[in-house]
Amino acid sequence: MNLAKNLKTFWYIFFAPMLGKNHQERLEYFYSRQADNYDATRPFLLAGRTELFQSIPLAGGEKWVDCGGGTAGNFEAIKERVPLCSEIHIIDLSQSMLEQARIKKEKYGWKNVFLHKGSVDESWPDWGPVDRVTFSYSLSMTENWFDALTEAKRNLKPGGLIGVVDFYAAKLHEDRPGFRQAWWRRTLFPLCTEKDSVSIKPDYHVFLNKHFEVEKFEIGRFRYPLSPMYIEYFTFLGRKR
Ligand SMILES: C[S@@+](CC[C@H](N)C(=O)[O-])C[C@H]1O[C@@H](n2cnc3c(N)ncnc32)[C@H](O)[C@@H]1O
């Protein structure tokens, strides 16, 4: 464990402002200072990622687009499943994060993994209809999340699956027990994450539940190290009708 590296990473996550004139510049400022330590630190901060990637069914030959896929750490966690796919496209706006993904692509000899620098809320390259789309803690960082999900839905083939894991915020008036949150939980944590351009809101799961046939919508809980307060995240798996 490299203490200096970890302290630097946690400084940028919890204290330093994200500088830049636009979203891409702010992301690059943030990630260029910690991308080489991202995979070592995020298991403590972002729960449910490997579980989601493990749970995506694959029969073989699928085309999979991972939006805001960053370092490709989620594919490393399921590396035995990578050869099952015909193509895996990772889109990310941060060059530093994609550089870490490139190192993994070379290390594992992934010929079916393609890395694209771009914004997921803009038109995707024409890969033809895709079978799987995932967003792992990237929807809450995508400014135009509505456009990103619309583009995901447009590119998915009928019956294709979308998987999302992200921080959970309950609707203001939530009827279902188990999905409710106290006002302070719904408001305080999202306030803290805004500094890192992470916008936590209920709109994501409301949209997903409305626009896809729901296979799974679950809330999970975890704690940051030393934190007295737990954090909630949701996992969504749905099919395009
Ligand atoms: C919290 S990281 C998650 C990375 C990875 N999916 C994971 O689970 O570890 C969010 C990622 O989304 C990317 N991102 C944010 N906004 C984006 C956008 N509009 N288009 C593409 N990528 C974006 C960031 O660069 C970053 O790599």
pLDDT tens for each residue of 10-28: 998 998 999 999 999 999 9
pLDDT for the residue numbered 2:
87
DSSP β-ladder status, 63-67 and 130-136: parallel
Look at residue 219 and tell me whether its pLDDT is greater than 80.
yes
pLDDT for the residue numbered 227:
84
- Are 36 and 117 in contact by the 8 Å Cβ rule? The answer is no
Domains of the chain with bracketed CATH? 47-239 (3.40.50.150)
Look at residue 36 and tell me whether its pLDDT is greater than 80.
yes
Across the chain, mean pLDDT equals 96
Q: Structure pTM?
A: 0.96
Look at residue 30 and tell me whether its pLDDT is greater than 80.
yes
The C-alpha atoms of residue 164 and residue 52 are separated, in whole angstroms, by: 8
Residue nearest to atom 27 of ligand 1 (CA): 70
Q: Give 226's contacts (C-beta < 8 A, 6+ positions apart).
A: none
pLDDT confidence of 225, banded at 50, 70, 90? confident
Beta bridge partners of 134: 66, 163
Q: Please name the residue that has the structure tokens 């941060």.
A: 94
pLDDT confidence of 226, banded at 50, 70, 90? confident
Residue nearest to atom 17 of ligand 1 (CA): 142
142 lines ligand 1 (CB under 6 A): yes
Residue nearest to atom 20 of ligand 1 (CA): 119
Q: Give 154's contacts (C-beta < 8 A, 6+ positions apart).
A: none
Look at residue 1 and tell me whether its pLDDT is greater than 70.
no
Look at residue 46 and tell me whether its pLDDT is greater than 90.
yes
Nearest ligand 1 atom, CA 91: 21
Which secondary structure element, helix H or strand E, spans residue 135, and what is its range? Answer: strand 130-136
pLDDT tens for each residue of 94-122: 999 999 999 999 999 999 999 999 999 99
The C-alpha atoms of residue 118 and residue 114 are separated, in whole angstroms, by: 13
- How far is the first Cα of the chain from the last one, in angstroms, to the nearest whole number? 46
Give the whole-number percent of the chain exceeding pLDDT 70. Answer: 100
- Are 203 and 186 in contact by the 8 Å Cβ rule? The answer is no
Look at residue 220 and tell me whether its pLDDT is greater than 90.
yes
